[in-house]
C-alpha cells in the first residue's frame, strides 16, 4: 500500500458521514450487524469491499472484510425476507 492509496481510503471514509462512520466502527469492533441501520450497512459493505481486494491478504485483512461483508449480506437478505412476508 502506498501513500496515495491511504489518501484514497481516507477520502472515501470521510465521505461516509459521521453516522455511518460510527456504525462502521461498531461493526468492525464486533457489534452485531442487527443493531445497525440497513442503509448504513449497505454503505459499510460497499466501503469495505471497495477498499480491500480479495488479494490483499496482509494480516488476513481480506478475510476479515469478507466475513463482515458476508454477515451484512445475510442480515440484509433476512430483512428483505421479513419485508416480503409482511
The three-point CA angle 20-1-3 to 5° equals 80
The count of domains in the chain is 1
Q: What is the mean pLDDT of each run of 10 residues along the chain (86 residues)?
A: 88 95 96 96 94 71 89 96 91
Coil, strand or helix at 56: coil
Contact criterion met (CB below 8 Å) for 45 and 23: no
Buried b (16+ CB within 10 A) or exposed e, 22-46: ebbebbeeeeebeebeeebbebbbe
All three cell numbers of 84: 416480503
pLDDT of residue 86: 82
Distances in Å between the alpha carbon of 39 and those of 10, 42, 53, 60, 81?
21, 5, 22, 27, 16
Range of the domain at 16: 3-85
Amino acid at each position: 500500500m502506498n501513500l496515495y492509496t491511504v489518501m484514497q481510503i481516507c477520502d472515501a471514509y470521510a465521505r461516509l458521514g459521521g453516522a455511518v462512520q460510527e456504525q462502521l466502527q461498531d461493526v468492525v469492533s464486533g457489534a452485531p450487524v442487527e443493531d445497525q441501520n440497513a442503509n448504513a450497512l449497505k454503505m459499510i459493505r460497499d466501503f469495505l469491499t471497495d477498499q480491500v481486494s480479495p488479494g490483499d491478504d496482509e494480516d488476513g485483512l481480506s478475510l476479515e472484510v469478507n466475513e463482515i461483508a458476508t454477515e451484512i449480506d445475510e442480515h440484509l437478505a433476512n430483512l428483505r425476507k421479513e419485508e416480503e412476508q409482511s
